[in-house]
Amino acid sequence: MTEKKTWSDRFEGSLHPAIASFNASIHFDIELIEYDLTGSIAHASMLAKTGIISQEESNSLITGLEQIRQEYRQGNFNPGIEFEDVHFAVERRLTEIVGDVGKKLHTARSRNDQVGTDIRLYLRDQIDQIRELICQWQKALLSHAESHVETLIPGYTHLQRAQPISLAHHMLAYFQMAQRDWQRLGEIKARTNICPLGSGALAGTTFPIDRHYTAEKLEFAGVYENSLDGVSDRDFAIEFLNAASLIMVHLSRLSEEIILWASEEFKFVSLTDSCATGSSIMPQKKNPDVPELIRGKTGRVFGHLQGMLVLMKGLPLAYNKDLQEDKEAIFDGVKTVKACLEAMTILLDEGLEFRASRLNQTVGEDFSNATDVADYLAARGIPFREAYNLVGKVVKTSLAAGKLLKDLTLEEWKELHPAFESDIYDAIAPKQVVAARNSYGGTGFERVNQAIVAARESLNSQYP
Ligand code: ARG
């Protein structure tokens, strides 16, 4: 256990072993070590720049910190629970390496502003990586869109066949969701990228520090204006987990569709061997484990968002140890979203094939062209509601006769309404039904082709 106590000479005894381990965060906040070192290097450099310590002292602190970075990267720095957290572990190791000058590093700083700086540096990096993964996902969606402009798929409302649409249009709907995710993370990054360092424990410091200097060195866009807010704000974490939850909502909805599409009932896609798994007992099965896992993992990200909100709601200013609990939520949220984005991209790229001929055939075997019959009449001056009622009747009698609308003879059409001409057959053919919905944002092929060009352009500009 702790041979050496952590705290000032106010303390005589050492912590109860169970409490020491209860209190510790080193087993998860070691994840922050590179950011902690980077933050400490900027702090050490500021301490010399402002004359709080000498240049030589600062240089040896920085050399020592860089050595710890190398030790960590080579797998030779593995502090145990006795160090409580990553900040103490680094400071102790630093003092071993550079001697007593190591004890000067913490001048004009607290772990409270230090940990706040670390977690922001970490999240800022992760947001960049997640945005990159979103672009990859969008690329996969777009490439399906490009190959399936003229592949038709039933469009649903209430999970009832409504109107046929271009499969590309369906893919581009997810592209748009991903686009908002990408933008949203950009906005959140701006609010994450503010530096709390120099807020001290809560009230600032008696030393003549230069907060703008450290912030600039660490490439933050600004500094917290209020030290109490600086050490206790976790809005950015909540915003991030909210954005992460929305990404998961989008991934989960797509997953649910893929699961349905792969079923015997739909048969819209087949899963390739690279992303499907078998059953240990039923030899005929091919299971969509990947989208199921994505759908399943969505819950834990929602849970982290809820956890973070509850964590914050009762905290009096300023820092409270409760805040140590933010890290596992953030880390797991980050890891889960990254893993799911990656898995979905692979699934789209090589895990599924759309059964285009079956899709094109199936849209001709239902009544999802009924609106087009009503539109046909309305375009010829019959009030839409009247046309709508009339077509409802046609659907009913056709159903009873076991016929589809395309099976009605011209005489039958004319009997229903004299306005019908032989071009009704063209008007209700699935391809035409889709092509005709050429309103802005609609599924008409022309519109979809324009949307693909726009999506390609915006994706190209998204790449940093
Ligand atoms: N491990 C702590 C955390 O993650 C570091 C800050 C501790 N500050 C303190 N006053 N006990 O929040």
The confidence score (pLDDT) of residue 279 equals 80
Q: Tell me the CA–centroid distance for residue 240 and ligand 1, in Å.
A: 21
134 within domain boundaries: yes
Pocket test for ligand 1, best of 199, 231, 324 (most atoms within 8 A of CB): 324
The string of pLDDT tens digits covering residues 58-77 is 999 999 999 999 999 999 99
- Domain ends where: 362, 395, 417? 362
Residues touching ligand 1 (Cβ under 6 Å) are 25, 29, 85, 111-112, 115, 319, 321, 323-324
Q: What CATH number is given to the structural domain containing 79?
A: 1.10.275.10
Q: Tell me the CA–centroid distance for residue 191 and ligand 1, in Å.
A: 22
124 and 51, same structural domain?
Answer: no
- Domain ends where: 362, 390, 425? 362
Mean pLDDT computed over 4-15? 79
4 within domain boundaries: no
% of the chain with per-residue pLDDT over 70: 98
Residue owning tokens 């572990």:
89
Pocket test for ligand 1, best of 85, 87, 308, 322 (most atoms within 8 A of CB): 85
Say how far apart CA 453 and CA 450 lie, in whole Å.
Answer: 5
The confidence score (pLDDT) of residue 4 equals 58
Residue-number span of the structural domain to which 186 is assigned: 112-362
267 and 147, same structural domain?
Answer: yes
149 and 92, same structural domain?
Answer: no
**What is the count of structural domains for the chain?**
3
The confidence score (pLDDT) of residue 427 equals 96
397 and 356, same structural domain?
Answer: no
12 within domain boundaries: no
The closest of 51, 140, 65, 125 to 96, measured between CA atoms, is: 65
pLDDT band at 13 (very low <50, low <70, confident <90, very high): confident
The string of pLDDT tens digits covering residues 277-333 is 888 878 788 899 999 999 999 999 999 999 999 999 999 999 999 999 999 999 999
Q: Tell me the CA–centroid distance for residue 316 and ligand 1, in Å.
A: 16
Spot the catalytic one: 8, 158, 357, 461.
158
- Longest Cα–Cα distance of the chain, Å, equals 102
By the 8 A CB rule, do 369 and 344 touch? no
Q: What angle do CA 309, 312, 318 make, to 5 degrees?
A: 160
What angle separates helix 289-313 from helix 235-261, to the nearest 10 degrees?
160
52 within domain boundaries: yes
411 and 395, same structural domain?
Answer: yes
The confidence score (pLDDT) of residue 464 equals 55
- Domain ends where: 107, 135, 160? 107
Tokens of 208: 């003549």
Q: What CATH number is given to the structural domain containing 383?
A: 1.10.40.30
118 and 87, same structural domain?
Answer: no
The confidence score (pLDDT) of residue 1 equals 40
Say how far apart CA 56 and CA 444 lie, in whole Å.
Answer: 70
The confidence score (pLDDT) of residue 284 equals 82
209 and 195, same structural domain?
Answer: yes
The confidence score (pLDDT) of residue 5 equals 64
171 within domain boundaries: yes
By the 8 A CB rule, do 431 and 359 touch? no
236 and 88, same structural domain?
Answer: no
5 within domain boundaries: no
24 and 162, same structural domain?
Answer: no
The closest of 346, 352, 345 to 271, measured between CA atoms, is: 352
% of the chain with per-residue pLDDT over 90: 92
Active site includes 439? Answer: no
Q: Atom of ligand 1 at shortest distance to CA of 86?
A: 1
The closest of 57, 92, 100 to 71, measured between CA atoms, is: 92
116 and 101, same structural domain?
Answer: no
What is the DSSP-derived secondary structure letter of residue 187? H
310 and 168, same structural domain?
Answer: yes
Q: What CATH number is given to the structural domain containing 123?
A: 1.20.200.10
Active site includes 279? Answer: yes
453 and 423, same structural domain?
Answer: yes
Q: Is the predicted pLDDT of residue 6 greater than 90, yes or no? A: no
The confidence score (pLDDT) of residue 165 equals 98
